[in-house]
Amino acid sequence: MQRTTPIVLNLIIINVLAYMAQRLVTGFDVTEWGALHYFTSPLFKPHQFFTSLFLHDTNGFSHLLFNMFGLWMFGSFLENYLGGKKFLLFYLVCGLGSGLLVQLTVPYSAGVFAQSAAGIQSASQNNVSAAEIISAYKQQYSAIGASGAIMGIMAAFAYLFPNTEMYVMFIPIPVKAKYVIPVLVLIDLFGGLHQFAGDNIGHFAHLGGAIIGFLLVFYWNKTNRKTFY
């Protein structure tokens, strides 16, 4: 058990307040305003690269709960190591990298959906072409959640503290971080490339955050720089 660090604590508070606003504010759609839409959508705004990091699924508490638990568990270690200012910038840059990879991969996801059973059925029912289904997918797409930035934190943790032992659900013995985190990344890679019906997990968002998080700490380790802001 580690002490909750100031930036992590404030990020958790902001996420909780944003979640409450999503559920309680009337007359204004907080989720639609802040979620990351595809850049060709009329709903897209540049601020969504950052506001989407603080919004979560309002159909339950699990999305927010698991993300905040991950932020607390890994983020407190990383903030103690990097310092508050550097950690906050790291978090936001990982979130930005997550959003950028999402933007790049939306066309792929749209194509996969158009070829899926659900996409074919939708095209048949609405008497539209696959190209129109792809276009509609892009216009309706939106992403929310802190998990991309948190995957960046986890990737950095695995690089900086590779031999830290972790207990993983259904595995009765501790496993080192250098094995656990890469496996999670590979699962997201598989999930992103082979998308299944009903899977609303942002696998490419996770990958984007993990890639940026790893590259940042790898670069700092090589240059031994204390700050980059």
Q: How does pLDDT run across 26-83, given as a tens digit for each residue?
A: 989 999 999 999 999 999 999 999 999 999 999 888 999 999 999 998 999 999 999 9
Beta carbons within 10 angstroms of residue 103's beta carbon: 19
d(CA 35, CA 58): 13
Domain at 6-223, CATH class: mainly alpha
Tokens at residue 150, please?
């948190």
Q: How many CA atoms lie within 13 A of 87 on its CB side?
A: 24
Q: Range with the lowest mean pLDDT among 90-94, 199-203, 217-221?
A: 199-203
Quick check: pTM over 0.75? yes
Q: What is the CA 200 to chain-centroid distance, rounded?
A: 12
pLDDT score for 227: 46
pLDDT, tens digit, 9 for 90 and up, residues 161-217: 888 877 776 677 778 888 888 888 888 887 777 777 666 778 889 999 999 999 999
**Domain residues of the chain, as ranges?**
6-223
Is it the case that residue 229 has pLDDT exceeding 50?
A: no
73: helix, strand or coil: helix
Which two structure tokens, joined as six digits, stand for 170?
């259904």
Burial 162-191 (b: 16+ CB within 10 A, else e): eebebeeeeeeeeeebeebbeebbeebeeb
Are 112 and 227 spatial neighbours (Cβ–Cβ below 8 Å)? no
Pairing of strands 165-166, 175-176: antiparallel
Kindly provide the residue ranges of all beta strands, DSSP E only, lying in the chain, ordered along the sequence: 36-37, 142-143, 165-166, 175-176
pLDDT at 2: 60
